[in-house]
Amino acid sequence: MTRMLTHFVLFFPSAASPTVRIIHSGHACNVEEERHTERVYTIREGETLELTCLVTGHPRPQIRWTKTAGSVSDRFQDSSVFNETLHIAKILRTQGGRYYCKAENGLGSPAIKSIRVDVYYLDDPVVTVHQSIGEAKEQFYYERTVFLRCVANSNPPVRYSWHRGREVLTQGSDKGVEIYEPFFTQGETKILKLKNLRPQDYANYSCIASVRNVCGIPDRSVIFRLTNKTASPSIKLLVEDPIVVNPGQTVSLVCITTGGEPPPILTWVSSNDSLPQRSVVKGGTLTLPAITSDEAGAYSCVASNNVGNPAKKSTTIVVRALKKGRFWITPDPYHNDDNIQIGREVKISCQVEATPPEELTFSWLKNGRALRSSERMVITQTDPDISPGTTNLDIIDLKFTDFGTYTCVAALKGGGIPEISIDVNISSTTVPPNLTVPRGKSPLVAREGDTVELECLVSGKPKPIILWSRADKEAPMPDGNMQMESYDGVLRIVNVSREMTGSYRCQTSQYNGFNVKPREAVVELIVQYPPTVEPVYMEMRQGLGRPVVMTCRVLRAHPSRVLRFEWLLSNRLLHAGAFDAQRDETEYTIRSLNRDGWGEYTCNVINEAGAGKCTFQVTGKAYAPEFYYDTYSPLWQNRPRVYGFKLQWTQMNPNAVDRIVAYRLGIRQMGLQRWWEQEIPVDGTINKGELMTHNLTELIKPESYEVRLTPITRFGEGDSTIRIVTYSGKCCVLREFHCSFEEEPICMFTQDKNDDFDWTRHSAATRDTKYTPNTGPSGDRSGSKQGFYMYIETSRPRKEGDQARLVSPFFNVAPKNPYGITNPPAYCFSFFYHMYGKHIGTLNAFLKQKGQTTSEGPVWSLSGNQGDRWKQVKVSIHPTASFQVVLEGVRGPGIEGDIAIDDVTLEEGECRDPPPNLSSTAPSTSSHIWLLCITMVMTILEGQR
């Protein structure tokens, strides 16, 4: 880029409250909006939603988009977008709903408009086959009634049609066939009932689901073949139930189909919600390699062929295991003793969890030798009064010779699983437990984030397990459980938090100790934490010479008695002191901000546990500018190889800091590293919402550019804003142009964003004319019902005088000499129109040249009913600069006023052989040339400036 011409303009409009209007672009679908009392924008799933909020008002209004969910079942969503254009790529069906655009500038009430977005989709239909209740057999015999049910998810509601082979089935077309929609399905399913099956009923049935090509969504279909062998699925599992295996084994479950037509599809499901990650499914075989106890459970084979109900067979895999061995000692239960005494009874209980429990066996040893049940040593394998997996050894009339080590051995029948052995010592030193809290360990004071150990001293032999729980409230322990076990009496809490303050109960468990009344004690935990303050961080922008007040507020602290506060700038102490007992905040005031006062201010609020910190960044940096995106068609194509762009922006909070004296503009071509920079001076004070412009020129076609804009004050540079400028003009010097609207982009024509409604692209094959049958064409210009054309839909909510404008892309005029255009070239502008209906309004054609804010009068105009046929018009035009052609349809007095156009053509040269059947009200040729001369003179004078 060798040079850049600039032009900078400030506008000072008078204050005005905001107004707002929502327009849309992109992939809108056509619906009958007159049947709604609201604006409804429909779009196909997967397309791009683009809504633009057109606003007026001064100061420049702030824009905010919000959305409510599309159905009651959805939660309210508040996805705000602070931009004029809301852009959602690849929209999903769940993103439908009502979108609101709110504009406010502080004057009057905010302006709010809404539009409902409806997302259209159609899934593949599914056909299921059922017999009447009580008639289910392995096969469908004669004199049986069969129901074919077709279902497809869609929006809008789907219509179904049934075919038998090539025959279309309708209600009443065949006495053996009924077609109906069950009431409870609200029209979303279609049932085909075959009464008393006949030989001709065995055929291919196809269900076609259709939303009538709305949004261009094609029909979807599914075929089901009904034969005399059609049957619901049946399966068989070639495994035992249950399957008992050792951990580490590989388990294979085999499922085979024994019936069903069409052949069923087999799947496997597990009672654990999902199959194990390492499982392998191949056909009907499920393999679980090196199975673990966690993978035990029920596994089901499910077969489905959409005939009748799916078949399901299940088996349970049991993984053998032994775990969690426990014991407890019960002194003489008849004398309520807590101690073991000679001559009294002692019971030793042993419990083990076993899978499967029926394979569990116990044996007892005394000092390593096998112990048999006798009159004085009574062994009970299972105790009905205690949970399963428990064995008891009752020692009656305890003698001195009975002291020793008793071992409980648990095993599973068949082996393969290691045994569990539990030793219990019975001696004169075997005594019940005692529980105390060490001196100085309650209350225990800690700081938030520390690691603490709550301790209970337990004595006795053997030492029992200690159970910890909250004593002051019904709350979980730090690990999430209601109780935590400790074998040494210590509860260790890592990274203790303020929520853990309270009372903790430690108590003895009957397990691994005496089965006596539990002993318990309580430990108090106090967690101190430094003050929590607000704000944690705040940016304060202010101009020189103005006051700044900073406030730091204490929300909570423990201990709540705050000791002191200190204010610092960087690391320099400014002010310190103690808190007033009646206040929970401290302030620091800068009476007049100077250059040395810019920087980071910190307020430390300090108690015994530490400090809370409020941070304030005091700066004179200006806020970022906000680019203005409402400039439509901002390209200037006045030269073949370059283009221009009008950059527009407003300044965010311009009065928050010192006056903005200039903007630094940076621009670089996308993909390159080097920035080109220049300063744009600003005269006077910028008001809030004031629109500023700057012309970018000499941009190389078709490159895109990154533009960076930075405000400058006495402080220096403020926050920058970056946007991308993309070249969008795709037409070159005009030689010949033709558009028949057959493709969705409609040849780069666009809907005017400032008219009342839009032109609609449609074909006679897809357009529903039942509502207004006496207007509009029955085919495109060539007579094809499949061909496309553009028309204006004049039904409600349209009213008389409403305008719809279709704007062509820009066309460049090739100059005859390097000094400009002296003899304007001629172009022939032609199109076909269809104006049929008793309420036909007006069709206008305009020439709009670059630089004109509004076009001159129409170059061609026609009003009223012209009959049910297509006619052609040809008009010679003489543009002096890059230009567009505009086709405007004006709604007449009623709904039978649809105007259509097709086959728009622009060719270099004067028109030849214009159609003879024109009853137009176009201006005369001389007046038209006179207007063009005025336009050409004004264009030349503007260029000389």
Q: DSSP for 515-560?
A: -SSPPEEEEEEEEEEEEEEE-SEEEEE--TT--EEEEEEEEEEESS
Place of tokens 């095993």: 411
pLDDT value for 924: 35
Residue 631: pLDDT band (50, 70, 90) is very low
Mean pLDDT of 563-577: 92
Q: Report how far residue 203's alpha carbon sits from residue 871's, in angstroms, rounded to the nearest whole number.
A: 50
Task: Return the structure tokens found at 788.
Answer: 């496309």
Q: Report how far residue 898's alpha carbon sits from residue 894's, in angstroms, rounded to the nearest whole number.
A: 10
Residue 639: pLDDT band (50, 70, 90) is low
pLDDT digits (tens, 9 = 90+) for 862-905: 999 999 999 999 999 988 888 889 999 999 999 889 999 999 98
Residue 330 CA neighbour count, 13 Å, CB half: 14
Look at residue 406 and tell me whether its pLDDT is greater than 50. yes
Look at residue 747 and tell me whether its pLDDT is greater than 90. no
Of the candidate CATH numbers 2.40.50.140, 3.30.1780.10, 2.60.40.10, 2.60.120.650, the domain formed by 625-726 belongs to 2.60.40.10
The more confident residue out of 631 and 282 is 282
Look at residue 694 and tell me whether its pLDDT is greater than 50. yes
Please state, rounded to an integer, the average pLDDT across all residues of the chain.
83
Residue 384: pLDDT band (50, 70, 90) is low
Poorest-confidence range of 147-156, 286-295, 379-388? 379-388
Q: Do the strands 788-791 and 899-908 form a parallel or antiparallel pair, or are they unpaired?
A: antiparallel
Look at residue 8 and tell me whether its pLDDT is greater than 70. no
pLDDT digits (tens, 9 = 90+) for 42-96: 889 998 888 888 888 777 788 888 876 433 333 333 444 656 788 888 899 988 8
Mean pLDDT of 461-489: 91
Residue 736 CA neighbour count, 13 Å, CB half: 1
Task: Return the structure tokens found at 934.
Answer: 């005025």
State whether residue 339 is helix, strand or coil.
Answer: coil
Look at residue 182 and tell me whether its pLDDT is greater than 60. yes
Residue 814: pLDDT band (50, 70, 90) is low
Residue 925: in which H helix or E strand, if any?
helix 925-944
Strands (DSSP E) along 386-519, which ranges? 390-395, 404-412, 420-426, 431-436, 444-447, 452-455, 457-461, 466-470, 484-486, 490-493, 502-508, 513-514
- Of the candidates 603, 583, 448, 618, which has an alpha carbon nearest to the alpha carbon of residue 533? 603
The more confident residue out of 743 and 403 is 403
Fold of 321-429: Immunoglobulin-like (2.60.40)
pLDDT value for 74: 35
Kindly report the pTM of this predicted structure: 0.51
Amino acid at site 845: A
The CATH number given to 234-319 is: 2.60.40.10
- Of the candidates 864, 868, 855, which has an alpha carbon nearest to the alpha carbon of residue 932? 855
- Of the candidates 661, 651, 655, which has an alpha carbon nearest to the alpha carbon of residue 624? 651
Residue 556: pLDDT band (50, 70, 90) is confident
The answer to whether domain 126-225 has CATH 2.60.40.10 is yes
pLDDT value for 190: 84
Look at residue 183 and tell me whether its pLDDT is greater than 60. no
Fold of 432-528: Immunoglobulin-like (2.60.40)
Gyration radius of the chain's alpha carbons: 43
Q: Report how far residue 599's alpha carbon sits from residue 607's, in angstroms, rounded to the nearest whole number.
A: 26
The more confident residue out of 706 and 937 is 706
pLDDT value for 891: 95
Beta bridge partners of 15: none
Task: Return the structure tokens found at 147.
Answer: 């129901």
Q: Report how far residue 104's alpha carbon sits from residue 69's, in angstroms, rounded to the nearest whole number.
A: 24
pLDDT digits (tens, 9 = 90+) for 895-926: 889 999 999 988 888 888 766 544 333 333 33
In terms of phi and psi (left: phi > 0; alpha: psi -120 to 50; beta: otherwise), the region of 281 is beta
Q: Report how far residue 839's alpha carbon sits from residue 774's, in angstroms, rounded to the nearest whole number.
A: 10
pLDDT value for 746: 80
- 199 DSSP assignment: G
- 189 DSSP assignment: E
Look at residue 459 and tell me whether its pLDDT is greater than 50. yes
Mean pLDDT of 727-744: 65
Residue 928: in which H helix or E strand, if any?
helix 925-944
pLDDT digits (tens, 9 = 90+) for 751-791: 888 888 999 988 876 666 545 678 889 888 888 888 889 99
pLDDT value for 73: 32
Residue 649: pLDDT band (50, 70, 90) is confident
In terms of phi and psi (left: phi > 0; alpha: psi -120 to 50; beta: otherwise), the region of 429 is alpha
Mean pLDDT of 329-337: 82
Tell me what percent of the residues of the chain surpass a pLDDT of 90: 47
Look at residue 132 and tell me whether its pLDDT is greater than 90. no
Homologous superfamily of 532-619: Immunoglobulins (2.60.40.10)
pLDDT value for 700: 86
Mean pLDDT of 332-339: 79
Contact 663, 651 (CB under 8 A): no
Poorest-confidence range of 262-266, 461-465, 886-890? 461-465
pLDDT value for 636: 46
pLDDT value for 38: 60
The CATH number given to 736-815+823-908 is: 2.60.120.200
Residue 115: pLDDT band (50, 70, 90) is confident
Domain spans in the chain, listed from the N-terminal domain onward: 16-121, 126-225, 234-319, 321-429, 432-528, 532-619, 625-726, 736-815+823-908
pLDDT value for 68: 62
Poorest-confidence range of 189-203, 487-501, 651-665, 834-848? 189-203
Look at residue 570 and tell me whether its pLDDT is greater than 60. yes
pLDDT value for 27: 63
pLDDT value for 930: 36
Look at residue 387 and tell me whether its pLDDT is greater than 70. no
Architecture of domain 16-121: Sandwich (2.60)
* Residues, the chain: 945
Place of tokens 């689901």: 209
pLDDT value for 82: 57
pLDDT value for 682: 94
Poorest-confidence range of 96-105, 142-151, 488-497? 142-151
Collect all residues with Cβ–Cβ distance below 8 Å to 944 and sequence separation of at least 6: none
pLDDT value for 804: 94
Collect all residues with Cβ–Cβ distance below 8 Å to 812 and sequence separation of at least 6: 637, 640, 731, 732, 733, 734, 882
Mean pLDDT of 644-667: 90
Collect all residues with Cβ–Cβ distance below 8 Å to 783 and sequence separation of at least 6: none
Mean pLDDT of 211-227: 90
Look at residue 138 and tell me whether its pLDDT is greater than 50. no
Q: Are 532-619 and 736-815+823-908 the same fold in CATH?
A: no
- Of the candidates 751, 714, 749, 744, which has an alpha carbon nearest to the alpha carbon of residue 730? 749
Q: Report how far residue 678's alpha carbon sits from residue 668's, in angstroms, rounded to the nearest whole number.
A: 12
Calculate the alpha carbon distances from 585 to 538, 549, 579, 599, 940 in Å: 16, 13, 8, 22, 69
* Sign of the C-alpha dihedral computed for residues 99, 888, 780 and 834 taken in this order: positive
Q: Report how far residue 360's alpha carbon sits from residue 324's, in angstroms, rounded to the nearest whole number.
A: 13
Collect all residues with Cβ–Cβ distance below 8 Å to 91 and sequence separation of at least 6: 43, 45, 46, 47, 48, 49, 117, 119
